[in-house]
Structures are given as C-alpha cells and as structure tokens.
Amino acid sequence: MIQLRHLLISLAVSTGVAASASVFAEPAVDAARARQIATQHACFGCHAIDKKLVGPAYRDVAVRYNGKPNAVTTLVAHIQNGSSGVWGAVPMPANAISQSDAQTVVQWVLAGSKTD
C-alpha cells in the first residue's frame, strides 16, 4: 500500500496533477475502539502490546506481518478460526468475534498498537 501510494504521488507530481493528501492516506485506526474490542474478547489474557505472554506481543506481530500481502486477511482468519504452529507450540484458539471487530483489532496491531 505504501509503495503504491508513493508511485501514485510520484506520477501525480511528474504529470502536474494535483492530488489531495487525504486520497492517499492510510485508514485511521481508532485505538480506543480497538483496545475496547480486545478487552471485550479477552485478547489481553494471552497478548500484551510490547512483551510475549502466552502469545506473541502485538508489536512482534506487526513486525512479522507489516508489508505482507493479505496480512489483514490472514490475521483476521487466525483470530476467528484459531491457528497453531505460527508462533510456537501453543495454539491460538478460535474467537467468536465479528469480521469487522477482528479487522479493527488487526489494523490497530499492524499500526503499532498505539495506546492513544
């Protein structure tokens, strides 16, 4: 996404086309809402923002998945369906969470799990 944005900006500048910065902006992440969802679904029982608990730290997840194609889709599937062997021997159980709520949490994690 970032490479595409840079390409489009370069193209707009080189052709003299003015473009609004908001057209190329990443979607805003509602950190408060994402934390609320993660709390509601007990995600913090196994994950922390900056240290490994039972599962990996959210910041480690961001490092591994940022820039990978289909990262959001992959991580949403891991949340909803569970996974095993991705971060070691301890499996992640499936979670009863909506697609939309899972995407909100994943986008927050990939954006660095900021607390503000």
Give per-residue pLDDT as tens, 16-63: 444 333 344 456 789 999 999 999 999 999 999 999 999 999 999 999
Local confidence band at 66 (pLDDT 50, 70, 90 cut-offs): very high
41 appears as a binding residue in the annotation: no
Strand-pairing partners, residue 37, are none
CATH number for 30-110: choose from 3.40.50.720, 3.30.70.3000, 1.10.760.10, 3.40.50.10490.
Answer: 1.10.760.10
43 appears as a binding residue in the annotation: yes
Q: What is the pTM of this model?
A: 0.75
46 appears as a binding residue in the annotation: no
